[in-house]
Amino acid sequence: MEIFDLIVIGGGPGGYLAAERAGHAGLKTMVIEKREFGGVCLNEGCVPSKTFLNSAKVFDYANHAAAYGVNGVGKATVDQKFVVERKNGVVKMLVSGVKGQLKRNHVTMKMAEAFIEGKTDEGIVIKAGEEKFLAKRLIVATGSMPVVPPIPGLRENLQAGTVMTNREVLDLTEIPEKLVVIGGGVIGLEMASYFSSVGSKVTVVEMLNKIAGPTEAEISKILQKSLEKKGVDFKLGAKVTAVEKDCVVYEKDGKVEKVAADKVLCSIGRRAVTQGIGLENIGVNMERGAIVTDDMMRTNVANVYAVGDVNGKIMLAHTAYREAEVAVNNILGKKDRMRYNVIPSVIYTNPEVGSVGETEESAKEKGLDVKCVSIPLTFSGRYIAENTDLNGICKLVVNNKTNTLIGAHIIGSYSGEYIVSVSAMIDLEVDIENIKKLVFPHPTVCEIVREAIFSI
């Protein structure tokens, strides 16, 4: 049996980056992937959805060109087949980039389904296809899959092609006339934003009384209004109870109602992939279907780590990246820990949302003494110059005791690009007085952070 210093199961963002960093550091590393390198993020998640959303943005601009003094553009149309082809091209380019990086870092790439057979004194026995390997250390990075609950008709219609998950929706070559989205979370809203822009009549059925889950309440309302303006219909406090061939049935305020659908997107969350990989053969602890890890990404089994969605902590690709680095650093003997409180999140709707840290609500729930400031994005000259809808806001949450930022929530153009600047301020615990001394380029939309700081 060939022995590796490190075997990584799963070639998504957590797995490929762990392999790349380990290979770079000189560890004899193998990464095993059963579908395609890049995982859900590159092949059927983050990146493909962003190519879709950019097409919608261009389309929206074209249709509103006259508002910027550009006439003669005419009524734009969307070639959905081309949008999917372009998406496939983008994915292909990035997947080959990932493989190139792994190769450059001397990582062995194996296309096979990996299975953990057991443990010996020398290491962990991994079966990959017909071969067996010995891993001195193991990183499990098997990711997550969409939750498809036992709602009557949901699975049957998924097989029949009427119901889609994130995978099928990104291969849709025709724009459905009526799209019903089950779940007003991140995936649901991004796809609602895209399909409503390009002409579908979109209805979002969401169980809670607000969209975008833990997003700051004021921002969630603005996002809802913006999407409603584009024609999205929201059924809030509505629980889907059945899916039929041409409609979705839901319960709202004790009444059963129906909404017609040509296609249905099921986006009600994801669950860790922990079944069928042999975790029980080495006794890995699990909780609610996800692998339990500490802040060094260690499981309860010596030399076994878990990074990315499989540990069920924060299911975001960039969380997986950092977890991968933390795991590899600890393997290399360099102490490193995750700090989950400074992980930014972005909703790539139009307008987009960037947030990090505590909301006013979560801070108060924790009993923190905070003050909040919320200012309109119209305090930024570039924002006004570039937008016709001027409803963006920037909200900051400050810890009174430490006089440092602990949260920022912004809705408006580019917020997903510059939210990381606030993550840095939170992570480094920069005093508000010192943030005031930072110079922001002018005119930019990110200047809004400076404006908000001076409004405290």
**Residue among 315, 406, 445, 446 that touches ligand NAI (CB under 6 A):** 315
Q: Does 162 bind ligand NAI (CB under 6 A)?
A: no
User: 33 or 206, CB closer to ligand NAI?
Assistant: 206
Select the residue interacting with ligand NAI from 13, 14, 39, 185 (CB under 6 A): 185
- Sort 208 into a burial class: Cβ within 10 Å, 0-12 / 13-18 / 19+: middle
Contact between 206 and ligand NAI per CB under 6 A: yes
Pairing of strands 163-164, 108-111: unpaired
Q: Is 219 in the site for ligand NAI (CB under 6 A)?
A: no
Distance between first and last Cα of the chain: 63
Size of the site for ligand NAI (CB under 6 A): 26
Task: Tell me whether residue 226 or residue 330 sits nearer to ligand NAI (CB atom).
Answer: 226
Among 86, 178, 230, 239, binds ligand NAI (CB under 6 A): 239
Q: b/e per residue, 212-237, with b = 16+ CB within 10 A?
A: beebbebbbebbbebbeebebebbee
For residues 29 to 58, the per-residue mask of contacts with ligand NAI, x marking binding by CB under 6 A and - elsewhere, is: -----------------x------------
- Segment near ligand NAI (CB under 6 A), from 130-138, 177-185, 357-365, 369-377? 177-185
Q: In terms of CB distance, is 269 or 376 closer to ligand NAI?
A: 269
Name the one range near ligand NAI by CB under 6 A: 85-93, 339-347, 354-362, 363-371.
339-347
Locus of tokens 């149309």: 77
Report how far apart, in Å, the C-alpha atoms of 420 and of each of 98, 120, 343, 367 are.
23, 44, 9, 26
Does the protein bind ligand NAI through residue 312 (CB under 6 A)? no
Residues involved in catalysis: 442
CB of 349 to ligand NAI, least distance (A): 9
Nearer to ligand NAI, 124 or 238 (CB): 238
**274, 11, 166, 222: CA torsion to nearest 10:** 100
Contact status: 183 vs ligand NAI (CB under 6 A)? yes
Instruction: Show contacts of 328-334: CB within 8 Å, 24+ apart.
Output: 328/6, 328/18, 328/21, 328/22, 328/25, 328/139, 330/296, 330/297, 330/298, 330/305, 331/6, 331/22, 331/27, 331/137, 331/305, 332/25, 332/27
Footprint of ligand NAI on this chain (CB under 6 A)? 46, 182-188, 190, 205-208, 213, 239-240, 267-270, 315-316, 345-348
